[in-house]
Amino acid sequence: MGKIQDDDKLYSFLKHFVDLHTYRSFRRFKIIGRENIPADGACVFGSNHCNTLMDALVLLATSRQKKVFIARGDIFSNPHTAKVLKWLRILPIFRIRDGIGAVRDKNGDTIDQAVDVMHDEVPLYLFPEAAHRTKHSLRQLSKGIFHIALDANRQFGHEKPVYIVPVGLEYGDYFRFRSTILVSYGKPINVTEFVKEHEGENEAVIINELKAILTQRMSELISFVPDNEDYDAIWEMTKIKSGRLPITQKKQLERNRRFISNILKFKEKEPEKSKEIFQKVMEFTKHRKEQGISVSSVAMRVPFWRTLWKTFLVLLGLPVFVAAAAVSSPIWITAWFILKNLKDKAFRNTVNVCVELILHPLIMATGVTLLFCLVPWEYAALGSIFLYYSYVFYFDYSEYVRLWTSDLRWVFNKNLRREFKELDLFN
């Protein structure tokens, strides 16, 4: 049996197809920090885990280079599923909740395969938080990534350096399809050098020190908000502040981090006053959501004129939207039925992407065939282009209408706007 990282022509072909649809699922897809990825050794990448399968699809699409992932072991319980997952270059890692026996008997084989992947200089990706969570924060990191890195260093650290590379995934929205994504690669940890500098120390101590470093570097790549009772208020304030001007994703991340830092400093200096402000913010947030008003509407500086301009664009795009909704209806109707019964909202983007990935090619194949059979080729070509972008237009227009409706509610809700003006957002 071959290695999990061996070349596979079918996998390579399908990867391009999947990557294309992953890019289509975002309005903006940006990657920064590639220069931090070492070119002289073996790398294991540790990323935050906030958006279920979307996290892996995003990381897969960051380059054409082959990659191997490690996922939670319980999804490998079915032998047929396990076979498919291995073909998809995913290895299982078992946790204590899966049973001591599974951790003891099966993780050793995974670590051996993971080390072999790194030895062949194929990027290995893990989510050290071990579970997804739709928050701009971090769970306590598990030890798996450090055991793999230290094992790799023991086996071939004398030949080539071993690195842990922090990765940050910053989504514009965790739940809305066609949002934005910023992938940031941070400063790598040279495990080989670290072990040399801490020669003689207990491995458990080394792991804890590496964990602290990786946690810090991962937190620097996202809009990190401490996960405590003030998280929701701080993030609400951050969204309002960062949404006022259209800027690049990198600058928005920098602005978010700066504003969050200022809030945390103020909280430390004025705990009572900040608590009072947080309570007012949460009351405002409750009222905003009850009225169906988006935080982007609250962030508007000139709400009336922007709403007037949006009304013109909504009317202009309506005929195209009706046509796009009709031809893409198998996709959005199927997704709607699945999402209606979805318990974990974190899977919303994953569902939308997977449904579009399966049904869009079928619609294209059927529609293009009919067009070229029934109308002149010039019209068939134009119709094919429309078919290709129909679902994207349908979704973007629907989102635009949602925000336009929110803007209208905000413009005509004087009481809520008065409540907002009374807030102190640490200007």
Distances (CA, A) of 2 to 8, 70, 86, 113: 11, 18, 11, 11
Q: Is the dihedral of CA 135, 143, 188, 18 positive or negative?
A: negative
Please state the separation of Cα 257 from the chain's center in Å. 18
Contact 408, 322 (CB under 8 A): no
405: left (phi over 0), alpha (psi -120 to 50) or beta: alpha
pTM of the model: 0.92
Chain segment 131-160, per-residue pLDDT in tens = 899 999 999 999 999 999 999 999 999 999
Chain segment 352-399, per-residue pLDDT in tens = 999 999 999 999 999 999 999 999 999 999 999 999 999 999 999 999
Give dist(CA 237, CA 427) in Å, integer.
11
Least confident of 28-37, 87-96, 313-322, 323-332: 87-96
Chain segment 311-330, per-residue pLDDT in tens = 999 999 999 999 999 999 99
Query: Rounded mean pLDDT of the chain?
Result: 91
Percentage of residues in the chain having pLDDT higher than 70 = 94
Give dist(CA 165, CA 142) in Å, integer.
15
Query: What is the band of 278 on the pLDDT scale with cuts at 50, 70, 90?
Result: very high
DSSP string covering 156-205, please?
Answer: HTTTS-EEEEEEEEEES-SSSTTEEEEEEE-PPEEHHHHHHHTTTS-HHH
